[in-house]
Amino acid sequence: MAKVATVITNWFEDVEFTSPKEALEAAGHEVITIGLKAGEEVVGKRGEAKVTVEHSIEDVKPEDYDALLIPGGYSPDKLRANDDILEFVRYFAQKEQPIFSICHAPQLLVNADVIRGKDLTSVKQVRVDVENAGGNFIDQAVVIDPSGLISSRTPDDIPQFNEAIVNALAK
């Protein structure tokens, strides 16, 4: 089964982490949290989810993972200032390994400069960032780019998003 890295810090959108994690684990995959400091407890923006970061970004290698999950909320905006996080994201894009992006997650992809020419979606207010970075914005519940990038707009789309990411790893 797949080993899925999740880059996360405070103020992630609670359900955009917890629901995909549950769906992936129910399908037999392992979900590992990676953040700025191992052992740090990060809290979702709604205060409903608390997550202990398992590994610091400085202590991991992207080649040890099969896919990348980026929950939305304010976490991607905070993480996109970190060069190690950006390099980690670039690895998955360059190798065309699955990247699962929801809501505000494309902010991290924009700073990693990995969406030029790719089809994706996001929450409405990130659309201009996606287009300015050369991405092809498509306003639908789930967008699957041939490169392995699977994106979704908001928590309302989570059922379709979860189905798409589980199916992607079943191949």
Catalytic site residues? 103
Q: Closest Cα partner for 143 from 103, 113, 87?
A: 103
**Alpha-carbon torsion (106, 108, 111, 115), positive or negative:** negative
- In terms of Cβ atoms closer than 10 Å to its own Cβ (0-12, 13-18, 19+), residue 28 is exposed
Cβ neighbours around 47 below 10 Å, total? 8
